[in-house]
Every structure is written in C-alpha cells, then in structure tokens.
Structure 1
Amino acid sequence: MIKAKEIHISGLVQGVGFRPFIYRLAYEYGLKGCVENNNLGVTIIAEGAESAIDLFISDIPNKAPLASSIESINSKEIHIQNYDAFTITKSQSVSDEITEVSPDISVCDDCLADMKNQKRRIDYPFTNCTNCGPRFTIIKDLPYDRIKTTMKVFEMCPECKKEYSTILDRRFHAQPVACEICGPEYKMYFEGKEITNIHSIVDLCANLLEAGKIIAMKGLGGYHLVCNAFNEDSIQQLRVRKNREGKPFAIMFHDVESASEYLYMNKEENDLLTGWRKPVTLLKIKKEIAPSISIQLDTVGAMLPYMPFHHMLFEKLNMSAIVLTSGNIFDEPIVIDDDEALAKLGRISDAVITYNREIHNRT
C-alpha cells in the first residue's frame, strides 16, 4: 500500500552530508518526496510502499554519515501529495530554534587522492567534498546552504556545478565545493613581496621553517604561529614574541607513525588523534622533541594535519613535526581577520600566509 510520512530529524545533521545521504537512501528504496534543512534539523517527506518507508526510516541511524549525530527521529503519516521524484528542496527557516552545526571536518583520503590526480584539483589546497572540509567556521546563518556561508562570493564553475548536482558524485550538494578555477586562493607576504603561486608558497614556507623562522599561517578557524618543533632557539623566540612564557605549545605531526615515535598512545588515544576532526589530543611524552615545547610537563597536545595545505607542507618539510600555536598575543583572542593578521602577527612573524576565504566563526 502506498503511504506518505513526514519525518523530522534533529541533532548534528547539517554540514555533514546528511541531505545527499537521505537522497541516496530514498533512491535505494524507490521513494519519492523531498528533504530539506531547516532551523530544527532536517525534514523529509517520503512517499512509497509502506514497508519501504519503514525500512528507510530504520536505516537512517544505521547508515548516517560518520560526522553526524542524531538526537531524535519522529515521523507521522500525512496525505499523499503524489511527488514525481525525490528531491533536495530549498532550505526553510521556520523558527527561532537553531539546530546543531557541524564542526569543521579534516580533509578526507579521497580528496587527498584527488589532489594527486584530478586535473582541476592537483595541489589545490581547498579541495573538499561532502565528507570533509570547512563547516562551522564558514557558516554565517542557518539553514546550512552555500549562500549562507563565506563561500557565497565564489561562484561555482560549470564543472563544480556538475559535481554539486550529480547524485552519485562525492561532491553532490557539498556546499564548500571548489576547484582551482573558481575557488579561494592563498597568498604569502614575505620581505615586502606578495607570493601567489601555491607551489612557491609551500616551498618557501618549508624553507623558512627549516631555517628556524616563525610564520603566521591562516587555519580554518583562525591564524596560527608556526615554527620548527625541533629548533629550540625558534621555540624560545616564539615564546618571547608571543609573550607566552610558560604555557605549553601544541605540536602537529606529519602522521601517526611520527607521533608514536615521540609520544605514548593507547588505542583510544590513537583513535581520537586520527579521528575525523583530527583534534588536539593530550599525550604522554616518550622522547623529547625540544625542551621548551612543554616546560616541566610530561604531556603535550598533539594533532595531525587536517587541512590540504598542511599535507602539502609536510611533503616538502625535512622534519616530522611543527609547533602550531594560536595566532595571537598573550591574552588576546586568536586573529581571524586578514588585515589584523598582517598588522599584528606580521610584526612578530617572519612571513604571513593567508587566503581570501573569510573566517566567520573563530575556533
């Protein structure tokens, strides 16, 4: 018997590829209807065989995207509206309640592979897809759609639009989708020069870090100050310039193998370090890197690369770890504005690396 149900899902369901997931699942069960984001979460209208709708609903929590977190699924039977197909419809703002917003997601292995072999994305440092990339830091308003993010100013090229609208494509409805033709770009300021070629930026950045210099680098949720994690003089100089006398610095390692050479970690800690967010993880020190990284402590905050630029940088570096600390002067908020970075961080760093996509939310 043909039935119709309205399904409401709340939780962390925006910015995690949830609508494309629902679209594919509905397609798999032969359902018609629609799915949309709204301020309450995600709403689905599903029309089809009653048994198919029931299986569809039961499959949602079992097959949902890894980065999502479902709090509730509520459904009710409604009148059949005779949809012709299943579609992703324009998002609606229906109340003052706000759904959860996805945090940024570290670049996935598929996108890293695209950076090696997909023509428009070879060494393109803003490569992302439905499963990874910036989320919280670029969102200006909800529901989560490109026009409500800082990606609004970057109009998709025909190829990106095609990926965005193709159901079986990994970038189907990926809001930050971009490529070298239409997306954001990096710029580096060094000794009065502006460098725009990404390969030149990465090469110079690597050379400066190996020479003991300090670099201000724009991340996802703010600027960082970066230096060689094995150069004690650089780390001491960073403490002086940043006015951070004793607090420990966090370290970014090339990979988990590099981290395990210097740090102890059990399976739970390993899983956290390598998880989809690549968070800073507090780990016990096995072998000292530089004395002043974590003064008088036997632990250090460690992380792995989470932006494409980080991966490109480590491919050029002759070191397995860098200090990555917040881009600010002691007790001030982390810098997110490009002009402020040049004015403030430019005075305490030897070079500034920025890009032209706005950070809207500081993290």
Structure 2
Amino acid sequence: MQQVKAVVAMSKDAPVEVVTINVPDPGPGEAVVKVQACGVCHTDLHYRQGGINDEFPFLLGHEAAGVVEAVGEGVTQVAPGDFVVLNWRAVCGECRACERGEPQYCFATHNATQKMTLAEGEHAGTELTPALGIGAFAEKTLVAAGQCTKVDPAARPAAVGLLGCGVMAGLGAAINTGNVTRGRTVAVIGCGGVGMAAIAGSALAGASKVVAVDIDPRKLEQALAMGATHTVNSAEVDAVEGIKAICSDHGAEGADVVIEAVGRPETWKQAFYARDLAGTVVLVGVPTPDMKVPDLPLIDVFGRGGSLKSSWYGDCLPSRDFPMLTDLYLQGRLDLDAFVSEEIGIDDVEAAFDKMHHGDVLRSVVVLEG
C-alpha cells in the first residue's frame, strides 16, 4: 500500500480537491503506474458534474502516460520500467466481439479489481471510483495490466498521453470509423480537442478536402494548422450549405464523410444533410442522456443511402493503434504536441476546467514531478 496525492471530486458540482489516497499493491492481473502526465478532458468535467453517474467520490483523470512501477501475479504483457499510455479498453479476449476477431469492439473490458481509497479525514477508507477505470490525476494509480499499452519511451508523456482518450477518439473517428482514405472529402463539425484530432486524422489519411466547422474563429484558425483545407463559421453561414458549396466538385451533394464532434441533435442533423449521397455520418461527440435523434423523414434516411455510425473510443485497439500513432508522432508526421495548450500542476485542475469550458485551450495537461 502506498499513499499519494490525487485529484478527487467529492460531490456533484463541488470544486475538485487535492487529497491523499491509498493505492494498493497490485494483485493478480493488475499494475501500479507512476503517472508522468495526464490531460484534462471534458469527460472528467462530466464526472465532476454528476453527468456520468453518482458514484462519488471520483478519482479523476484518464488521458495519461507513465511508467509501470509494479505488476501483480500473472502479468506478462508489461513489466516494471515500461513506458505506457493508459487506455480504457483492456480487451477481455472472451466476449462475442473478441471471439469473432473484433477486439476493438470488446464488450467486457477489464479494470483493476482492488479499489483505491481516501487516506485521511472523516471519509478515510472510502472507496474511490476512478474515471473510466483509470483515475490518473494522481502521482500513482492502480489499473488492470491490460490498460497499459507500451509505446516508445522517446515520446513526450504530455503529448502521447492524450492518445488515451480524446485524441484517439478523434483520429479513430476519421480513420477507423469513417474509413477516410486518400481523395475523400471530409467535414468535421465542432473543433474542440476531439474535432481537431478528427481533422488531423483526416489529413493524415490523405483526404482531399477537410472542412472545419465551428462558431469560434480562433478554433477555425487553429484547425487550418491541424490540416483543415477549408473552414465554415457556422455562426455566420449555414453549416450545411457551406459544406456543400466546398464539396460540390463533380456534382457531389456534400462531403463523403461528415464527423459530428459536438454531440447535439441539431449538429448531428447538420451532419446528416451535409453528406453526399451514400456518404457517411460519424457521431463522436458525446450527447447527454436526455438528447433525442432529431426529427428526420424516414424517406430521407432511406433515399440518401450510406451509413450513420457512432464512434466509441475511435473504434481503436490500443495495442495496435497507440504504438503506431506514437511512431508517427516521433517521425514528425503527427503533431501531437499541437494539442498540448499548456502544462499545469496537480493543483490547477479546477482552473483548467474553466479554461476548457470557455474554449481557451485544446488540452491542459497535468505534469507530475518525480
């Protein structure tokens, strides 16, 4: 058992606190990871706001990279000293998706069996719920060994740690779910961290046009640096008409692939109508439980053909995708550093939430000392 500092959300909408927690020694199938960097993601804010569930207190943080410190019995895939990116898809190998050779859709991913707990005060001993089964706003965390993906240790932890969630979600929405390939036209609605990653992924895949859509001119300017070829300010121009005008070559009626990275019914409807005939819509923005599919004539769903998809974690397989994307980063072909707006300390998470809410950063990244 070790005691470390960590960021915890004690109750709904309360400011986060830096507290001392207990991290058990790893049991069978588990690993303790010394966290070097962890991105501040919208999902962490959703946990703090009670938007995921009410299993407080939450140990926040999940976009992380670090070094394996210790492993439990039966662990062979990682060893102490390995540099890893943490993931929330530790595939089980036994569910129907895994058995049919599609582990990227695993329905029974693993988390650590033991619980980390609060170490001090009146709530000492209270079990913590780690965000996405990780909980990495902490000097050290306990995870299932399968949540550790080895990557090249030459990589910058603050950059490659973002593959653990948002950047992978966006890249994967384009490359894995949307099947973007060379010559395709792509539109991305919503240019936050996930949308920017979808833009970068589309450019990496060789898309001929990548249209960035947002209401914030700052984000649209940054999207051009990430690989967008065109922008549409949907506060000034109808998003659907703007996309169609840009992608109208050879009689096309929209983009081949439209990626919705906001998670709202109205923007999903824009994506539906902004795609070409037989085109693909990819929903990667995360809606709230109360949101409904917008009212669409069923004849439009039938008559336009194509695919309406959702992308969960970018349909990634961490063991395949994390090392590959890290290598592309080290080769200078994927600029993960561009996603890191600032490096902060463990005491600055609450302020980072505020910056994220106002669109001032792509990612604040907590960097831990030692």
TM, length-normalised to structure 1:
0.25
Rg (Cα) greater in structure = 1
| TM-score using structure 2 length | 0.25
